[in-house]
């Protein structure tokens, strides 16, 4: 009766099952997996929410690419990062997840492949399968910082590859693509005739520098057809606003054909609500003030995590260049799930590394977004689970 696009088994894994049991028993958990800013104390100002009551919202004059005023606001936001993007090359969506789905519809037929990085967030496989595509992983490598190997990527490309997904910076590794890596990627994709889908939702949250300059944005024109994804959920801590965008770049001919086809697809759905589009220019003008407390929280929690790890030479805190999470490498004497279950028994919820397809070792993934009192109360239990 049902298609194979959705999984047939919805049973909980052991960690989720035990967390559910503890909550049903009334236990309070210190949640170091939190990635929702509205549950981490970052609530939208009332006057900002009031922008949704714009009088023009009563009128419905849809544009498949999004209202021009909203796309111009996104263009100005890119300009603030010294990235020039024509508003005509921007398409608004209801979320980054929808952006992926629209691009998978644009680029692939049933059975075609999308290359995704490992480690990375495990959403891609579900999104691709819902559009009839297959996921093929390619590895990121760690050597004091994370790197993309162009040779490893090249070896992963099959005849059915239609796009390479990059997450810039990555979730959960926090790694940006360096400029030489981005150049190698765009040249490889141009040669093979495949597109780049660059998820840049955490790009406004750098945490540390690298000896090699990071790539500014895949919204810049290059030799390969590229799609840079952004949105309000992370950049302004407004997931409830449900607005994202795609900046399309690349050689003019293929870029314009992609935009025309993408407009046809978005015209089929017209999913972006008018009120948030009208409010977008004012929201993005306040992006700096919305981001400031988040950046302060991330830096503060990262320092707390460094201090917690420092007395334990058997642990390693992997280099974090940006984003909202960090990885702790633990002794491989036990599995990461065993260690996460031990932390849960102490009242702390933390992700095991295998949730993000972190391979070759034992890792715990910690959110840096949590309220400081949650982080401070949870870290001693995480350290205990990590070393024993």
Query: How is residue 359 written in tokens?
Result: 């391979």
Q: How far apart, in Å, do the first and last CA atoms of the chain sit?
A: 48
What are the percentages of helix, strand and coil residues in the chain, rounded to 5?
A: 45, 20, 40
Rounded distance between C-alpha atoms, residue 168 and residue 226, angstroms: 13
101 φ, ψ (degrees, to nearest 5): -60, -40
Q: What is the 3-state secondary structure (H, E, C) of 27-93?
A: CCCEECCCCCHHHCCCCCCHHHHHHHHCHHHHCCCCCCCCCHHHHHHHHHHHHCCCCCCCHHHEEEE
295, 274 in Cβ contact below 8 A?
no
276, 233 in Cβ contact below 8 A?
no
Query: How is residue 52 written in tokens?
Result: 């949704």
- Grouping H, G, I as helix, E, B as strand and the rest as coil, residue 337 is helix
Largest CA distance in the chain: 62
**pLDDT score recorded for residue 359:** 82
Pairing mode, strands 146-148 and 244-249: unpaired
Contacts of 210 (CB under 8 A, 6+ apart): 145, 176, 178, 321
> In this structure, how many other beta carbons lie within 10 angstroms of the beta carbon of residue 103?
27
Where does the chain show beta strands of DSSP type E?
30-31, 90-93, 113-118, 134-142, 146-148, 161-167, 195-199, 226-231, 244-249, 316-317, 325-330, 348-349, 351-352, 362-367
Q: State the Rg of the chain over Cα.
A: 21
Residue in the structure block whose two tokens are 């993005």:
284
What stretches in the chain show pLDDT beneath 50?
none
* Phi-psi region at 111: left, alpha or beta (left = phi > 0; alpha = psi -120 to 50): left
Query: How is residue 379 written in tokens?
Result: 């870290």
Rounded distance between C-alpha atoms, residue 295 and residue 203, angstroms: 12
Domains contained in the chain, CATH given: 14-35+288-387 (3.90.1150.10), 46-285 (3.40.640.10)
Nearest alpha-carbon partner for 326 in 179, 209, 169, 182 = 169
- pLDDT 10s digits, 158-198: 999 999 999 999 999 999 999 999 999 999 999 999 999 99
336, 352 in Cβ contact below 8 A?
yes
CB-based burial of residue 314 (10 Å sphere; 0-12 exposed, 13-18 middle, 19+ buried)?
Answer: exposed
């Amino acid at each position: 009766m049902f298609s194979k696009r959705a999984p047939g088994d919805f049973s909980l894994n052991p960690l989720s099952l035990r967390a559910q049991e503890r909550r049903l028993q009334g236990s309070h958990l210190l949640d170091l997996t939190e990635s929702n800013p509205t549950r981490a104390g970052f609530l939208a100002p009332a006057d900002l929410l009031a922008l949704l009551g714009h009088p023009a919202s009563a009128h419905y004059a849809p544009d498949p690419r999004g209202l021009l005023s909203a796309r111009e606001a996104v263009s100005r936001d890119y300009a603030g990062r010294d990235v020039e993007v024509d508003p005509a090359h921007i398409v608004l969506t209801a979320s980054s997840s929808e952006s992926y789905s629209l691009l998978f519809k644009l680029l692939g037929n049933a059975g075609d492949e999308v290359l995704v990085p490992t480690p990375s967030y495990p959403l891609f496989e579900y999104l691709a399968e819902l559009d009839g595509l297959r996921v093929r992983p390619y590895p990121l490598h760690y050597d004091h910082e994370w790197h993309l190997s162009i040779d490893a990527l090249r070896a992963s490309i099959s005849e059915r590859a239609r796009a390479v997904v990059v997450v810039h910076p990555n979730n959960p590794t926090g790694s940006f693509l360096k400029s030489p890596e981005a150049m190698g990627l765009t040249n490889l994709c141009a040669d093979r005739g495949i597109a780049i889908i660059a998820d840049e939702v955490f790009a406004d949250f750098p945490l540390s520098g690298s000896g090699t300059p990071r790539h500014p944005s895949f919204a810049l024109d290059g030799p390969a057809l590229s799609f840079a994804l952004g949105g309000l959920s992370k950049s302004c801590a407004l997931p409830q606003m449900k607005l994202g965008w795609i900046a399309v770049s690349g050689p003019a001919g293929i870029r314009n054909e992609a935009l025309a086809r993408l407009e046809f697809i978005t015209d089929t759905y017209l999913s972006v609500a008018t009120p948030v589009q009208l409010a977008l220019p004012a929201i993005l003008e306040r992006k700096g003030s919305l981001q400031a407390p988040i950046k302060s929280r991330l830096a503060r929690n990262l320092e707390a995590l460094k201090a917690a790890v420092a007395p334990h030479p058997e642990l390693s805190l992997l280099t974090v260049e940006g984003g909202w999470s960090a990885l702790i490498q633990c002794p491989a004497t036990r599995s990461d799930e065993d260690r996460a279950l031990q932390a849960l028994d102490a009242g702390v919820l933390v992700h095991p590394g295998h949730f993000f397809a972190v391979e070759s070792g034992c890792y715990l993934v910690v959110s840096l977004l949590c309220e400081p009192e949650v982080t401070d109360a949870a870290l001693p239990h995480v350290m205990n689970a990590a070393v024993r």
